[in-house]
Amino acid sequence: MNREEYIKISELLKEFCIPKHLEGYKMIMSAIQVLSKNPDISVIDLYTKVAEMHNSTVSRTERAIRYAIESGYDNCKMCGLDTFKRICYSNGKPSNNEFLKSLCFEYEFTD
C-alpha cells in the first residue's frame, strides 16, 4: 500500500471513529486494499487473505474487524456523529461485510 492509499483509508476510518490502536483497524485497512482490487471476492476469501497478511486466523480476523467496527459505531454514537448513516445496513449495527463493502465504495469514489 502506498502512502496516498494509506492516508486516504486512514482518513475514512477516522471519520468512522475507528480507534487506530486496535488490530482490527489494520485488518480493515488490508481488507479495503484487497476489496478495491477484487470487489467480487467472497467474505470468507477476504478474511482468509487478510488473515494471511497479518499472520492470524480467519476467526481472529473476523472478530478483530467486528470489534473495530463496533467500537467505531459506539464512539460515533457517543459523540453524536451520524457517520454510520452513510452506510446501508439492515438492522442495528452494520455487519462486517456491509461496512467493508460500503467503505470500499467510499474509498474508490472519493478524491
| H helix count then E strand count, the chain | 5, 0
Going residue by residue through the chain (111 aa), what tens digit of pLDDT does each one get?
789 889 999 998 998 899 999 999 999 999 999 998 998 999 999 999 999 999 999 999 999 999 999 999 888 878 877 777 666 666 777 888 888 988 888 887 765
| CB neighbourhood size of 25 (10 A) | 20
Read off the pTM. 0.87
- How far apart CA 110 and CA 15 sit, in angstroms, is 13
Contact criterion met (CB below 8 Å) for 31 and 100: yes
- 10 Å CB burial of residue 28 (0-12, 13-18, 19+) is buried
